[in-house]
Amino acid sequence: MARRNRSGTARPPGAGPAVSGARLWTWLMLPGTLWMTGFLLASLLLVATLAFGTTDPLGNPRFGLNTDNFAALADPAYRTVLLRSLGYALITCLICLAVAYPVAYAIALHGGRFKNLLIAAIVVPFFANYLVRMYGWSVVLSDDGPLLKALRAIGIADDGTKILQTGPGVIAGLVYGFVVFMIIPLYAAMERMDTSLIEAGRDLYGGPLRTFLFVTVPATRQGAAAGCVLVFLPAMGDFVSAQLMGGPDQIMIGNLIQDKFFQGQNWPLGSALTMLLMAVLLFGMLGYLRRTRKDEAEAVR
C-alpha cells in the first residue's frame, strides 16, 4: 500500500529526477525481493514435491511420485477440521475488527502526544515469545484461574463453567494472539485518513455512529482489509491456541499438520495437508487482491 502512494500520488517537490528515483527504489528492493522469492519458491517447491513422497524406516522423507497422500486427504476428518479452522479464523477476524477499530481510532485521532507511547504499549508485549504468552493466557483462563474465579465471585459463572477446552476458549486465544496485526494497519490507515472528511460528515448532520460507519470505515477499509488478511492467515494455520486452549473438538488444521511433521513424522502427508491449506487460503488471497485492485483503479480514476 505504501507503494501505491508513492506511484499513485504526486511526488513531493524536490524529490529529484523521476528516473533515478525509480531506479534507486528498484535497487533497494532487489536484494530483499530476491531473498524472499528465492526462499519462498525453494520451500514451496520442497513442500510441493514432498507431498508426492514417502517416508523411509528412519522417518526420513523420500521424494517420489505417488498420490497416496492426496488420496488420504479424502478422510472426512480433514474436511471437518478444515471447516472448523475456517470458522474460527473468520470469527477471530470479526472480533479483532470489533476490538481494533475503537483502539486504532482512539489512538490515531485522540492520542495526541501519547500516540507513539500507546502504540509501543500495544506492540512491546509482542516481543515476548508467542508460546509463553499463550501459556500465560491459558493459566488466566483455567478452571481455577483468576478470570473464572472473579466471574464466579460476582455470580456470572458457576462451578461447571469452563473456558479452556471450548471453542470460545480457542478463539479467545487466537484473538489475543493476533489482534495486534489488526490494530497496526487500522491505525496506519486512520493516521493517513483526511480528518476533514469526519468534520464534513458532522456538518452533514451525521451522528457519531453514522459518521463512523459511513465515513471512517469506508475511508479505512484498505487498512481493515490488510488487517483481516494479516489476522486470518496466521489464525488459520495456528496450532498453539487449539493445543493449549482447545479440547478434542477444537483441533485445528494447524494441529494436524504439526502432528504429521512432528509426532507422526509423516512429512509427505503433512506436506499434502499444507498444500490443501494453501489452496484454501489462496482463494481468500485472490479475493483480497481483486478487492484492492478495484480500490486502486477507483483511486486512480
Q: Which three cell numbers stand for residue 6?
A: 508513492
- For another protein, the binding residue among 24, 29, 35, 59 (CB under 8 A) is 59
Is residue 194 at the binding interface for another protein, with CB under 8 A as the rule? no
We find the least distance from the C-beta atom of residue 297 to another protein, in angstroms, to be 36
Distance CA 242, CA 94 (A): 18
Query: What amino acid is encoded at 234 in this protein?
Result: P
Give the x/- contact pattern for another protein in 79-118, rule: CB under 8 A. -xx-------------------------------------
We find the least distance from the C-beta atom of residue 235 to another protein, in angstroms, to be 18
Is residue 249 at the binding interface for another protein, with CB under 8 A as the rule? yes
Residue whose CB is less far from another protein, 5 or 161: 161
Beta strands in the chain (DSSP E): 54-55, 61-62
What's phi and psi for 158, nearest 5 deg? -115, -175
Helix axes 76-110, 180-192, angle to 10 degrees: 40
Distance CA 183, CA 89 (A): 17
Q: Facing residues of 62 across strands?
A: 54
Give the x/- contact pattern for another protein in 2-21, rule: CB under 8 A. --------------------
Is residue 63 at the binding interface for another protein, with CB under 8 A as the rule? yes
73, 186, 229, 257 from 273: Cα distances, Å:
7, 32, 21, 6
Is residue 40 at the binding interface for another protein, with CB under 8 A as the rule? no
Is residue 49 at the binding interface for another protein, with CB under 8 A as the rule? yes
Cβ-contact 215, 105 below 8 angstroms: no
Residue whose CB is less far from another protein, 214 or 262: 262
Cβ-contact 181, 123 below 8 angstroms: no
Distance CA 235, CA 173 (A): 10
We find the least distance from the C-beta atom of residue 252 to another protein, in angstroms, to be 10
Q: Which three cell numbers stand for residue 197?
A: 472528511
Is residue 129 at the binding interface for another protein, with CB under 8 A as the rule? no
- For another protein, the binding residue among 46, 109, 151, 278 (CB under 8 A) is 46
Is residue 151 at the binding interface for another protein, with CB under 8 A as the rule? no
Distance CA 20, CA 25 (A): 9
Is residue 65 at the binding interface for another protein, with CB under 8 A as the rule? yes
Binding residue count for another protein, defined by CB under 8 A: 43
Binding site for another protein (CB under 8 A): 41-42, 45-46, 49, 54-65, 72, 75, 77-78, 80-81, 142-144, 164-165, 246-249, 251, 255-256, 259-260, 262-266, 269
